């Protein structure tokens, strides 16, 4: 297993290089003047675009441009984002903690509720709990996230004036940007608690509830369906019938036998859900005006901020590559029958 992990880790840089080649090939459809934004480190350099084109050879053959850009990225220089008004690396550090905080708050309930109710739905097939679970799964799977988000905003913020959009109120904004507030983790709700600002913590949490609820309902639907289908398949196999014939209690059969074997597709889907959340839930962050990595990527694309688009895309690509590795490792942890030679 260790050998397999090391082998996959060795392939990660090659996969990322292939991703950069694809992205850079797409960028060749843009003019050299537009691609010059990738090499800008300071907004004052935008006044001398021709000098940047000549300096970095943006009219040279594509493979030479790609090589220079990869070296630049390897040194942590991703260019300057016009939309964020800062270097791309700094923009990622600024926006990613908000997305991470929202992702963690959403993913934990998705995983717990999806596995628990998906399993119960399969065990109590065609009973009222199964019917309710299937209703939640069907509506969540078919309902667009922007529709659900707007409905929640209209009801809870428009009618009841609670759970506002954004990340925090004006008072908390002044607090977190003051010299007295220390950013320990970048996760604002946790940092508020560590700074002893309980009112600020409540304000930040209040802003997280609606976008988290939207993500939970939408992503929970798919995990419920996969867990239920996988459990039904396992519960219909011969070894389950044999265990029942031997008098093994039902809860033991479900917990120690069927569930563990049914978790393989659930592990794959769960890891992809989490990485998708980390990569930026574009629509949800846009609807709720939440300043995460997905919303920044959308704004960058709308304003043709090439460096910003490329930086956010590279981040999402890297996260997906890592997610596939983690999924492969978890397979063997969940199911000992799987062995990698």
What are 279-318's pLDDT values in tens digits? 768 888 888 988 888 888 888 888 877 778 888 888 888 8
Closest CA to 99 of 272, 323, 315, 292: 292
Is 186 a domain residue?
A: yes
In this predicted structure, what is the pLDDT of residue 272?
A: 82
User: Do both 38 and 166 map to the same domain?
Assistant: no
User: Do both 57 and 95 map to the same domain?
Assistant: no
Whether 154 has a pLDDT exceeding 80, the answer reads yes
Domain boundary among 77, 109, 136: 77
Exposed, middle or buried by CB within 10 Å (0-12, 13-18, 19+), for 266? buried
Q: Are 215 and 294 in contact (CB under 8 A)?
A: no
User: Do both 187 and 39 map to the same domain?
Assistant: no
Whole-number Å distance between alpha carbons of 20 and 62:
12
Least confident of 35-44, 103-112, 239-248: 35-44
User: Do both 41 and 162 map to the same domain?
Assistant: no
Whether 189 has a pLDDT exceeding 80, the answer reads yes
Domain count, the chain: 2
User: Do both 94 and 23 map to the same domain?
Assistant: no
Supply 156's token pair. 């809870």
Closest CA to 93 of 194, 168, 186, 181: 186
Domain boundary among 23, 43, 77: 77
Whether 42 has a pLDDT exceeding 70, the answer reads no
Strand partners, 86: 81
User: Do both 42 and 104 map to the same domain?
Assistant: no
Is 339 a domain residue?
A: no
In this predicted structure, what is the pLDDT of residue 160?
A: 86
Other beta carbons less than 10 A from residue 245's beta carbon: 8
Is 256 a domain residue?
A: yes
State residue 81 phi and psi, 5-degree precision. -95, 115
Whether 210 has a pLDDT exceeding 90, the answer reads yes
Closest CA to 295 of 146, 169, 162: 146
Whether 319 has a pLDDT exceeding 60, the answer reads yes
Q: Are 242 and 180 in contact (CB under 8 A)?
A: no
Mean of pLDDT over the chain: 83
Confidence of residue 338 (pLDDT cuts 50, 70, 90): low
- Tens-place pLDDT, residues 214-223: 999 998 988 9
Whole-number Å distance between alpha carbons of 227 and 111:
10
User: Do both 119 and 231 map to the same domain?
Assistant: yes
Domain span including residue 43: 2-77
In this predicted structure, what is the pLDDT of residue 167?
A: 86
Q: Are 218 and 145 in contact (CB under 8 A)?
A: yes
Domain boundary among 32, 52, 77: 77
Is 340 a domain residue?
A: no
- Tens-place pLDDT, residues 78-102: 877 878 888 888 888 888 888 899 9
User: Do both 115 and 155 map to the same domain?
Assistant: yes
| Interstrand relation of 86-87 and 80-81 (parallel, antiparallel or unpaired) | antiparallel
Give start and end residues of each alpha helix (H) in the chain: 2-27, 32-35, 49-56, 62-74, 88-123, 128-142, 145-152, 170-176, 188-194, 198-235, 238-245, 250-252, 259-278, 282-287, 293-302, 306-334
Percent of the chain with pLDDT over 90: 13
Could you tell me the pTM of the whole model? 0.83
Whole-number Å distance between alpha carbons of 325 and 13:
13
Whether 177 has a pLDDT exceeding 80, the answer reads yes
Whole-number Å distance between alpha carbons of 133 and 141:
12
User: Do both 131 and 40 map to the same domain?
Assistant: no
Whether 335 has a pLDDT exceeding 70, the answer reads no
Whole-number Å distance between alpha carbons of 258 and 311:
43
User: Do both 49 and 198 map to the same domain?
Assistant: no
User: Do both 128 and 58 map to the same domain?
Assistant: no
User: Do both 246 and 306 map to the same domain?
Assistant: yes
Q: Are 111 and 330 in contact (CB under 8 A)?
A: no
Is 246 a domain residue?
A: yes
Q: Which domain CATH number covers 174?
A: 1.10.3720.10
Is 136 a domain residue?
A: yes
In this predicted structure, what is the pLDDT of residue 37?
A: 66
Is 214 a domain residue?
A: yes
What value does the mean pLDDT take over residues 135-153? 88
What value does the mean pLDDT take over residues 204-213? 92
Whether 339 has a pLDDT exceeding 60, the answer reads no
Percent of the chain with pLDDT over 70: 93
What value does the mean pLDDT take over residues 36-65? 72
Determine the longest span between alpha carbons in the chain, in angstroms. 81
Is 172 a domain residue?
A: yes
Confidence of residue 39 (pLDDT cuts 50, 70, 90): low
């Amino acid at each position: 297993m260790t050998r397999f992990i090391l082998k996959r880790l060795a392939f990660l840089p090659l996969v990322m290089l292939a991703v950069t080649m694809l992205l850079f090939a797409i960028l060749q459809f843009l003019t050299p003047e537009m691609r010059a934004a990738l090499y800008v480190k300071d907004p004052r350099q935008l006044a001398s675009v021709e000098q940047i084109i000549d300096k970095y050879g943006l009219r040279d053959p594509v493979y030479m441009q790609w090589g220079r850009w990869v070296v630049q990225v390897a040194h942590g220089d991703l260019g300057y984002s016009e939309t964020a008004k800062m270097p791309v690396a700094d923009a990622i550090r600024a926006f990613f903690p908000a997305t991470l905080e929202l992702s963690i708050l959403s993913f934990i309930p998705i995983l717990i509720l999806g596995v628990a109710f998906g399993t119960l739905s399969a065990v109590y097939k065609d009973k009222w709990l199964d019917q309710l679970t299937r209703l939640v799964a069907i509506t969540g799977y078919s309902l667009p996230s922007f529709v659900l988000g707007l409905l929640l905003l209209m009801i809870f913020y428009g009618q009841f004036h609670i759970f506002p959009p954004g990340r925090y109120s004006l008072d908390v904004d002044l607090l977190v940007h003051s010299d007295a507030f220390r950013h320990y983790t970048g996760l604002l709700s946790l940092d508020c608690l560590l700074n002893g600002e309980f009112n600020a913590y409540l304000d930040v949490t209040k802003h997280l509830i609606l976008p988290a609820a939207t993500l939970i309902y939408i992503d929970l639907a798919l995990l419920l369906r996969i867990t239920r289908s996988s459990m039904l398949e396992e519960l219909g196999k011969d070894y389950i019938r044999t265990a029942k014939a031997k008098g093994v209690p039902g809860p033991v059969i479900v917990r120690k036998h069927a569930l563990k074997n049914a978790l393989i597709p659930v592990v794959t889907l769960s890891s992809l859900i989490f990485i998708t959340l980390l990569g930026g839930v574009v629509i949800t962050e846009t609807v709720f005006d939440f300043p995460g990595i997905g919303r920044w990527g959308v704004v960058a694309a709308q304003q043709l901020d090439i460096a910003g688009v490329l930086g956010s895309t590279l981040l999402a690509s890297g996260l997906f590559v890592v997610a596939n590795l983690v999924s492969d490792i978890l397979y063997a942890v969940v199911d000992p029958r799987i062995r990698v030679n």
